[in-house]
């Protein structure tokens, strides 16, 4: 069994991603990419959210992400029409989203990536969001 630290796992995941700045992600979403917020409901309530502020943005909590975007899954979302869909994963600070995007790539979604700096960077960039609550 190979043992690695979480920092090593994260670095390996990020090495295969083309991570996007918040502004790049927003441009891609306006061009048809799917922005997916994977933060738990408590965190979205505390920090704010993109659902309803960014057209087409989805909330898919981390524990079901792969099932919702696997084009062969009975639990897939309508947006999961194939392996070429561009999925941009958003978490709070850009750590969990990197791991999640790498998992989507493992399923064959080669265009999956994440937002560098997460929702915190998104808000700091002045991009559309809804306030906490």
In a domain, 133, yes or no: no
In a domain, 70, yes or no: yes
Whether the pTM exceeds 0.75: the reply is yes
In a domain, 89, yes or no: yes
Please give the residue range of the domain that contains residue 22.
Answer: 6-124
In a domain, 129, yes or no: no
In a domain, 94, yes or no: yes
DSSP type of residue 81: -
Distance CA 46, CA 128 (A): 16
In a domain, 132, yes or no: no
Instruction: For residue range 6-22, list pLDDT tens digits in order.
Output: 999 999 999 999 999 99
Instruction: For residue range 26-47, list pLDDT tens digits in order.
Output: 999 999 999 999 999 999 999 9
CATH number at residue 101: 3.40.250.10
Distance CA 104, CA 114 (A): 11
In a domain, 131, yes or no: no
- Confidence label for 133 from pLDDT (cuts 50, 70 and 90): confident
- Confidence label for 91 from pLDDT (cuts 50, 70 and 90): very high
Residue-level pLDDT at 2: 87
Domain count, the chain: 1
């Amino acid at each position: 069994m190979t043992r690695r630290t979480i920092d090593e796992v994260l670095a390996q995941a990020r090495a295969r991603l083309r991570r996007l700045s918040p502004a790049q992600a927003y441009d891609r979403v306006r061009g048809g990419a799917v922005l997916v917020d994977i933060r738990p409901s408590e965190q979205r309530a505390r920090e704010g959210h993109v659902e309803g502020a960014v057209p087409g943005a989805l909330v898919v909590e981390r524990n079901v992400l792969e099932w919702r975007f696997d084009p062969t899954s009975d639990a897939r979302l309508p947006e999961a029409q194939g392996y070429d869909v561009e999925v941009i994963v958003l978490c709070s600070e850009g750590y969990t989203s990197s791991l999640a995007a790498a998992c989507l790539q493992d399923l064959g979604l080669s265009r999956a990536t994440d937002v560098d700096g997460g929702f915190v960077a998104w808000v700091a960039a002045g991009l559309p969001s809804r306030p906490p609550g």
